[in-house]
Structure 1
């Protein structure tokens, strides 16, 4: 997005630019919300929104956690999707959400990587091209927000990620550790929480055919086609042909959709287009590959146009009343308009696994929590279990031996899931949920995040 000097001067005044840093640009009257832009690199502007929990404990001997929510994609908007559709204080009708995670922690939403949501770059070559680059930008953001804020830097930070955000989260966790140890960042890292996360693409694509065949969405012909394309992806990954593997991933999704009559990749009990959480009214780029357009439903807007009061679902809400409330969003910036640019820039990293980074976090003593929805396809539970079993962490064999404990919600004795832990590795199996666990099973998700963030911080 090219901007004139005059536009940039005005923007800088709005967000209080100072030597490459930014200050909070806006807040509500009681200070419970504050938001702004951070210039994480020259001409690369990341939008953030912090909600202070009304349940926050100010006693320094009882640290109150902060959750940094990282959306997937890459290119989806945490400020929009995670906030208004999943865990924030208000839903897309701007009504209070009973299951908001503010009951357990402060919430910090970001539009990351730059180009997602309200974040933007002034020149197209400034989009990040790897998970490491995305994590570096986020580390810069945290330095700007936490270093001079004693309330924040005394509170344990939990990096919570969904979908592709998990790959960036583990890189960010390691980057935070390095920055804290070098004195560049004042922050207590409480843990990294990976929700239905795209940690090992190879393990996931191999899980799709058998899973969908077992539940009768694919016949044996469809299973063979799926497995054949998964084998091609494996070879491409082994040869370092990651961009080509992404193209084959698109072909695999298309093949599965054709042979399953359009199973929803985010909930295998549904068809694509019937789940209001994964449906959009528009596609990001009508000239791109059909499967990438389908995937961009997640990148841009996960709700249907029937969610009126915002004229066009989440996209209408974010470009309408929310943009007006925030006051600092550049007038010519449309929320979500650059999502496909972010994905395209990171295409060569999309199929690269980050299992080794999870191993490194565990070895450094950081709490790692994994949760997965039973009905998810794209980041299936069986695929997650497969990559977990590839960990080289010294505690893995003991972890595998431990019996799971059932999860319940409030006074109801219906089994909502299972969990088990060994040392600093924790796993939650969430029954009845697809890819978007806080949406599908809000009560047990809230209980899980409360239990997870009660742990003392590790760093």
Structure 2
């Protein structure tokens, strides 16, 4: 017994040692401008992602879990676009703070996912947020190059924070992260096979409104419009007849599917009819949230000291604008250890001038990547807002039914799901076998984590972390 006690004490000392030393204290954020006091630490900085080239770096923001970070899992959050900043997204969705009305300060996000997990936000690909390269060709991104760089980032981040290597790891993200997250998950599992050292302890994926089969999502928009009586049946039937170049069973991203001119014209006619507008006044932005008006304010309003409203019909439509303003304040950049190379462009939430992405990769079929993960027993939770016209629930459900069919998995449960202490109805839940869940979110737009944060938090805690234990 005495021998075991000595081992335990040594283990305890080792653990305490790890606790204080295993963090990159150079990257510790002392305090962000206008930030309320908190009891957890934040870190931010750059990770070089090439052995041979100095000056190819991804920027990250790491937030400890509110309680007992060393006993909590690590969740990586990747935002879509492609070309949007995950770090910026943290400040209007799942991170610990929300930018205030005047965009000069922060308020606590009571629904931050760091209540149940450590959070790591990565600006990826190169050219998103403060991630940069001194080689201009690195700004030409695609699925493969992005994935290679993310894998290198993860390996090097764990070298910087080794205590997290053994922790449960969840990969999460929204929109085009439907490509980034499954690709990274497969890369981590491949690396586990090749590496004799410690392994990535991947426990599951959680994806919001993910792009999985873009060409079909573009057409699913028509089903979405029709199911909500936004277009009439004759236009709907005409489009279904004319735009039938591909379906769920012959989705080949390698085949250049060119919609006929008539198909394109009919789809545009449907957009105008759905929003009761004309070509001059139509904005594709409306598709991200088909029932709420986009943010009407501008950065000029913030420069003049005006306050930008935080809520419009229960949803904060202006948070990206406030985040963009906040991240361009010099004192904010300094506190973040960001923009250390004085980039030639302003910080933007999405799509800096230098950023490019291979258009063909946007059409790639992500079902094989998901299929591989499910065959390796990795649980996947997908959630979608039912007011998203960009990647509508109609399309995502069809993709998942196709995926289940290929794996010979049956739909084992379809029911409403509830959230919160009063058990409000969240939407519909579909369970395919033991590993795949799809949840619709009532009233959620393309960004469920912003438009329905309570539901998103509940999905993460109840249907991701607790479900997978």
Aligned runs of 1:29-40 on 2, under 5 Å?
Answer: 29=30, 32-40=41-49
Corresponding residue number in structure 2 for 1:91: 98
Whether the 8 Å CA contact 2:371–2:407 is kept in 1: the answer is no
How much has 1:426 moved relative to structure 2? 2.0
Query: Aligned equivalents of 1:39 and 1:240: distance in 2?
Result: 33
Query: Aligned equivalents of 2:26 and 2:262: distance in 1?
Result: 43
Which of 330, 335, 339 aligns to 2:347? It is 335
Query: Aligned equivalents of 1:45 and 1:254: distance in 2?
Result: 40
Whether the 8 Å CA contact 2:143–2:180 is kept in 1: the answer is yes
Query: Aligned equivalents of 2:180 and 2:129: distance in 1?
Result: 17
Change (3 A) 1:140 1:393: farther
How much has 1:410 moved relative to structure 2? 2.4
Which of 266, 273, 276 aligns to 2:288? It is 266
Corresponding residue number in structure 1 for 2:426: 416
Residue 82 of structure 2 aligns to a residue in which SS? coil
Deviations 1:190-248 (A, max 9, x none): 11112100011133122111220232322346536754774457799758355967x99
Residue 168 of structure 1 aligns to a residue in which SS? helix
Corresponding residue number in structure 1 for 2:124: 112
Aligned runs of 1:154-165 on 2, under 5 Å?
Answer: 154-165=166-177
Whether the 8 Å CA contact 1:243–1:347 is kept in 2: the answer is no
Q: In the alignment, is residue 446 of structure 1 matched against residue 457 of structure 2?
A: yes
Aligned runs of 1:177-326 on 2, under 5 Å?
Answer: 177-183=189-195, 186-220=199-233, 222-223=235-236, 226-227=239-240, 230-231=243-244, 238=252, 240=254, 255-260=269-274, 261=277, 262=282, 264-270=286-292, 274-276=293-295, 281=298, 304=318, 313-320=322-329, 321-326=331-336
Name the stretch that deviates more: 359-368 or 219-228: 219-228
Corresponding residue number in structure 2 for 1:28: 29
Q: In the alignment, is residue 368 of structure 1 matched against residue 414 of structure 2?
A: no
Corresponding residue number in structure 2 for 1:75: 83
**Number of residue pairs matched by the alignment:** 399
Corresponding residue number in structure 2 for 1:51: 63
Whether the 8 Å CA contact 1:372–1:429 is kept in 2: the answer is yes
How much has 1:427 moved relative to structure 2? 2.0
Change (3 A) 1:48 1:212: same
Q: In the alignment, is residue 144 of structure 1 matched against residue 156 of structure 2?
A: yes
Query: Aligned equivalents of 1:405 and 1:101: distance in 2?
Result: 25
Query: Aligned equivalents of 1:449 and 1:135: distance in 2?
Result: 24
Residue 412 of structure 1 aligns to a residue in which SS? coil
Query: Aligned equivalents of 1:239 and 1:50: distance in 2?
Result: 35
Change (3 A) 1:217 1:446: same
How much has 1:121 moved relative to structure 2? 2.1
Query: Aligned equivalents of 1:256 and 1:78: distance in 2?
Result: 33
Deviations 1:112-151 (A, max 9, x none): 1111111112232113542122111111110001145332
- Where structure 1 has 5 or more consecutive residues not aligned to the other structure, the ranges are 1-22, 283-301
CA RMSD of aligned residues (A): 3.3
Query: Aligned equivalents of 1:44 and 1:225: distance in 2?
Result: 49
Query: Aligned equivalents of 1:356 and 1:349: distance in 2?
Result: 14
How much has 1:338 moved relative to structure 2? 7.7
Query: Which structure has the larger Rg?
Result: 2
How much has 1:396 moved relative to structure 2? 4.6
Query: Aligned equivalents of 2:265 and 2:136: distance in 1?
Result: 27
Query: Aligned equivalents of 1:143 and 1:198: distance in 2?
Result: 26
Corresponding residue number in structure 2 for 1:297: none
Deviations 1:67-107 (A, max 9, x none): 111111100111102x0111111102111011111111111
How much has 1:249 moved relative to structure 2? 11
Q: In the alignment, is residue 101 of structure 1 matched against residue 113 of structure 2?
A: yes
Corresponding residue number in structure 1 for 2:17: none
Residue 403 of structure 2 aligns to a residue in which SS? coil
Corresponding residue number in structure 2 for 1:294: none
Deviations 1:142-193 (A, max 9, x none): 0001145332112111110200111111111100001122117642111111
Query: Aligned equivalents of 1:106 and 1:204: distance in 2?
Result: 33
